[in-house]
Amino acid sequence: MARLANIIRNDMFVTSVSFTGQFDHETQIQSVPQHLLVLINMIINGPNIKDQAEPPNITQPVLTVAQLLMVNAYKQRRKPKEPPTQIYVKNKQMPLSIYVGMKVHSLTFKRQLVDSLHELGLSESYDSIMDIKTSLGNSIINHYSNEGVVCPPQFRTGEFVVGAADNIDHNPSSTTSTGSFHGTGISLFQNCAVTLPNPREQRLWETFQIEKQVKEIRALPSSFTEVKPLLAPTNMTAPAGLSA
């Protein structure tokens, strides 16, 4: 048992994983050593050496347990009375722990809840989640600036785009301009059957880096957020047959 544990632990500590923005089945498999997956799969689903390492046979519970072991594993044995404080390690960013932290924060916005899950070994810490979310926002801003247009990186070039627009009215009966709002919301859709990698999205993740201790998302360039008023010229010439 000790030899088996040492073999698997060595694989765990030489495996380097960085956040790529993906949480799919294949990404989770790639974030965990194969030996660890095989062992947990045999424990949960029963021994079957032939098919244990095949991706279709690796269930989500197996991936969940494997990623939790990766996040909570310590390279050196702690002293008996030493508190089990989790340390954020850059090369052990498991998709599961990041997903849990981001999901809980997006639903509750409660730091205490995220940190409680972190203490249980189920999530990244609140500070780590905020670093990741802020870095994602800044990467998108840089992506827009480089392309010169606000267009989601998930959109594919050359594919048909459908747009839907609707009014946004908040408190229209207000008697003051500060209490009401009227605007227009525009949504864009693509129905793509292509499963090949998206070059635009790949360029975004190739340059993505987590910025530590950055708490604010950079603003868009003013040319993206401001529309200058257009005044019709006063010396317009009327079309033939019409009076000015």
Residue 29 confidence (pLDDT) = 93
Q: Confidence class of residue 101 from pLDDT cuts 50, 70 and 90?
A: very high
49 residue type, one letter: I
Query: pLDDT grade, residue 218 (50/70/90)?
Result: confident
Percent of the chain at pLDDT exceeding 70 = 87
Comparing 118 with 235, the larger pLDDT belongs to 118
pTM: 0.73
Residue 112: per-residue pLDDT? 96
Which of 63 and 197 is assigned the larger pLDDT?
63
Q: What are the pLDDT digits (tens) for 19-66?
A: 888 898 999 999 999 999 999 999 998 887 666 667 778 899 999 999
Geometric angle at alpha carbon 71, from 17 and 77, rounded to 5°? 120
pLDDT, tens digit (0-9, with 9 covering 90-100), for 123-161 = 999 999 999 999 999 999 998 888 888 888 989 888 889
